[in-house]
């Protein structure tokens, strides 16, 4: 699978070679690049339509990139997001429910969040709700030791709802600030498993009616359009308040953020950019678009 940079260089090289190209040619080039970058056919058509309204005659490479940046940024303008890592939590404990399929970096994301919050002085409790994978419980235990967070865990194969309930109950009893709950890596195409995920949410609400205060869906950015389909199904059963895009460390094309934001109205809140504890950052549309379309070529 070609990387974003490979697609981008092809795009820019074609523009340079086709000085004096006809309008329909630049549309074809931009369309090809957007699809290769995982933006998707439907949204690519919308972007090309808007871009055509801004460009006329024989646009230069700089004009195309400039207006393409403007169009991409406009897609994010109607759905502003907040910086979760810098939030002042008005609810105590503040409950964060993490969902997603296996292999997306869900448990690692929990560890990174625990690292960020404990470094700010918050008292954090982790709920090892992925009881269907013994390795997930062990991995979360290592993160708890590493970050100084407490951990509540059940037995392998146990009830994930019970773990969530106990974690919140423990946080209430000890006066903790934040509860981060893991969940089993549900397959988005298995309806009965997704329904179980909805049941866990009901258990959480039994302890704190307004919880979970954040439900973050973790999506592997390298999966392309599969990530959009995952987001569609999880929106129905888990009602995510935000997306965490993982593996955005140079290997992902990254365009999947655009259709998720535009079509599903789910904000991208955080981005995973590596394996280190501090490798999680707030999603910023301007930086994202500049990374997709840098002014200077890669050296």
What is the pLDDT averaged over residues 139-162? 94
Whole-number percent of the chain with pLDDT over 70: 86
Structure confidence at residue 4 as a pLDDT band (50, 70, 90): very low
Residue 243, token pair as written in the block:
């997306």
What average pLDDT does the segment 147-173 reach?
95
Q: What is the pTM of this model?
A: 0.85
272: left (phi over 0), alpha (psi -120 to 50) or beta: beta
DSSP code per residue over 185-217: ---TT-HHHHHHHHHHHHHHHHH-TT--SEEEE
The pLDDT-based confidence of 13 (bands split at 50, 70, 90) is low
Distance between CA atoms of residues 79 and 73, nearest Å:
11
pLDDT value for 11: 54
- pLDDT, tens digit, 9 for 90 and up, residues 50-86: 988 888 777 877 888 889 889 989 888 866 677 899 8
Q: Encode pLDDT of 183-226 as tens digits.
A: 988 766 677 777 888 899 999 999 999 999 999 999 998 888 88
The C-alpha atoms of residue 94 and residue 246 are separated, in whole angstroms, by 23
3-state secondary structure of 270: strand
Catalogue all structural domains in the chain, each as residue range(s) with its CATH number.
Answer: 4-77 (1.20.120), 84-282 (3.40.50.300)
Q: Give yes or no for residue 42 having a pLDDT over 60.
A: yes
Ranking 110-119, 175-184, 189-198 by mean pLDDT, the lowest is 189-198
**Phi, psi angles (nearest 5°) of residue 216:** -105, 125
């Amino acid at each position: 699978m070609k990387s974003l940079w490979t697609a981008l260089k092809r795009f820019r090289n074609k523009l340079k070679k086709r000085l004096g190209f006809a309008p329909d040619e630049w549309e074809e080039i931009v369309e090809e690049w957007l699809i290769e970058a995982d933006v998707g056919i439907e949204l690519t058509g919308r972007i090309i339509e808007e871009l055509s309204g801004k460009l006329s005659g024989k646009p230069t490479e700089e004009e195309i990139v400039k207006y393409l940046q403007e169009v991409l940024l406009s897609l994010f303008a109607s759905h502003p997001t907040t910086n979760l890592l810098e939030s002042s939590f008005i609810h105590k404990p503040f409950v964060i429910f993490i969902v997603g399929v296996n292999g997306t970096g869900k448990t690692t994301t929990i560890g990174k969040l625990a690292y960020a919050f404990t470094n700010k002085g918050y008292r954090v409790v982790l709920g090892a709700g992925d009881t269907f994978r013994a390795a997930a419980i062990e991995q979360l235990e290592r993160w708890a030791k590493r970050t100084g967070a407490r951990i509540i865990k059940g037995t392998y194969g146990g009830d994930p709802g019970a773990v969530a309930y106990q974690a919140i109950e423990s946080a209430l009893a000890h006066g903790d600030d934040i509860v981060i709950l893991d969940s089993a890596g549900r397959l988005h195409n298995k309806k009965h498993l997704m329904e179980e995920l909805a049941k866990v949410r009901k258990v959480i609400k039994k302890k704190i009616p307004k919880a979970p205060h954040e439900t973050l869906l973790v999506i592997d950015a390298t999966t392309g359009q599969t990530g959009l389909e995952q987001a569609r199904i999880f929106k129905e059963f888990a009602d995510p308040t935000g997306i965490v895009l993982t593996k955005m460390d140079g290997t992902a094309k990254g365009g999947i953020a655009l259709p998720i934001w535009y079509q599903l109205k789910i904000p991208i809140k955080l981005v995973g950019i590596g394996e280190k504890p501090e490798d999680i950052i707030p999603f910023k549309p301007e930086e994202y678009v500049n990374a997709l379309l840098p002014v200077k070529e890669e050296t």
